[in-house]
Structure 1
Amino acid sequence: MSANVWLLYLVTVFFMSATPGPNMLLAMTHGMRYGRRRTMVTCAGLMTGIMVVMLASMLGLGALLAASEALFSAVKYAGAAYLVYLGLKLWRARSDSAATGDETVPALVTDQSPFRLFRTGFLVSLSNPKAFLFFTALFPQFFDKQAAEGPQLAILIATFMVIECMWQMIYVTGGQGAARYLGTPSRTRMVNRVSGSIFIGLALWLTTAQRA
């Protein structure tokens, strides 16, 4: 892969990953509620889900979703239902605060195990069937047909993962910083409901997604 092609891909991914979406919203809200250390587990789930999406797209699942309206709709509505579930969970979240060391972090629930945090991140990454179509269309545009595809695909995936991880860390840090200003129950409740409404809005938007 030439340096010019890679730099073009790098710029494309940089701005695309920066765009707020379910993954970044989850990273931010978990950063607010659980602090950066625990949210690393959520981010690990998000990154694992993204890796699965990319590999599945290259193995043909993206093309299968593009060809099957029934399968695309099934994945779409399942993803939307999960985002609504997360949104309602935020609406019903506790409005008090939980002390974590020397900082106060608004608490979503008190029994979020690392497995649950990881699972939430993983499922959010898989919630949008358009992501499968996106990677199916994106990667071939940067392939050099005269060179082996394996090493090129490895470069594209590694670059995407590094950029995505960087932006997730920015959103997590921003959420953790915002948590310091949310010490009152009323402010915490407001953020919970705004974040929950955004998740529900994203779910409604997802139901309008088309294969084309």
Structure 2
Amino acid sequence: MDWTLWAGFVLASLIVGLLPGPGVTSIVGYALTAGRSTALASVFGATLGNATAMTLSLLGVGVLLEQSPVAFAALKWAGAAYLVALGGWSIVTAKRGSLAAAEGGPAIRPRTAFWGTFAITSINPKTIIFFVAFTPQFISSDGAYWLQAAVLLVTFSAVVTLSDGFYAVAASWVAGFLKGPDVKLWSQRVGGAVLVAAGVLTVALVD
């Protein structure tokens, strides 16, 4: 592999990772709603989801999605509905149970956050199709395709995990300053609203 191309891929991956989108928004929502451990679990879910989406794109699934509007729409709306439902449930739970908020109990379990972000990142047609157009630009025709593809997959996953982790730690750090039952209650509500917003973004950003 041309290491100049690889360096360019690292930079491009970092820019993609830092740009707020449905994945980042959901991670921030988990941080505000349920704390650092749940947010970090969502980061690793996103890592696995991105790796899955990239693998599918390299196998050609992205091309099929481009040619199938029905499949594209189904995946898009399924991911959006999941986030909206989860965020709405978090808001309703906070409204009904201020005592749980006061005790600092996580409204959403780490396992739920993990599979939630895995779902929206792995089945997001925008991500899969993006990889179809994105990765070939950084693969040299002189080298073995699958070896280079594997290097790019690992590289992208590592870079985006770091950027997502930054968002998770930063948001949970801010949430750590929110003390008292009322503040925690509103923090959970805001986190739920952010998850709903992530669901809306999942639809809005994919035509």
TM-score category of the 2 structures, normalised to the smaller one: 0.7 to 0.9
Per the alignment, residue 176 of structure 1 pairs with 172
Per the alignment, residue 107 of structure 2 pairs with 108
Per the alignment, residue 162 of structure 2 pairs with 166
Partners of 2:79 and 2:124 within 8 A in 1: yes
Q: Name the SS of the counterpart of 2:103 in structure 1.
A: strand
**TM-score in terms of structure 2 length:** 0.84
Aligned-residue offset at 1:20: 1.7
What residue ranges of structure 1 are gaps of 5+ in the alignment?
100-105
Per the alignment, residue 18 of structure 1 pairs with 18
Partners of 1:75 and 1:129 within 8 A in 2: yes
- 1:49-198 to structure 2, matched below 5 A, reads 49-94=49-94, 95=98, 96-99=101-104, 107-109=106-108, 112=109, 114-198=110-194
Per the alignment, residue 45 of structure 1 pairs with 45
Q: Name the SS of the counterpart of 2:140 in structure 1.
A: coil
Moved over 6 A (4+): none
**TM-score in terms of structure 1 length:** 0.83
Per the alignment, residue 102 of structure 1 pairs with none
Over the aligned positions, Cα root-mean-square deviation in angstroms equals 2.3
Partners of 1:62 and 1:132 within 8 A in 2: yes
Read off the aligned partner of 1:161 and give its amino acid letter.
S
CA distance in 1, matches of 2:171, 2:124: 23
Paired-residue identity, %:
27
Aligned-residue offset at 1:72: 0.8
Aligned-residue offset at 1:24: 1.9
- How far does the alpha carbon of each residue in 1:123-157 deviate from its partner, in whole angstroms, 9 at most, with x for none? 13235211111111111111111211112111211
Per the alignment, residue 29 of structure 1 pairs with 29
Q: Number of paired residues? A: 201
- How far does the alpha carbon of each residue in 1:98-140 deviate from its partner, in whole angstroms, 9 at most, with x for none? 35xxxxxx7325xx2x533322231132352111111111111
CA distance in 1, matches of 2:88, 2:129: 28
What residue ranges of structure 2 are gaps of 5+ in the alignment?
none
Q: 1:120 to 1:98 in 2, by over 3 A?
A: farther
- How far does the alpha carbon of each residue in 1:43-73 deviate from its partner, in whole angstroms, 9 at most, with x for none? 2222111111111111111111000111111
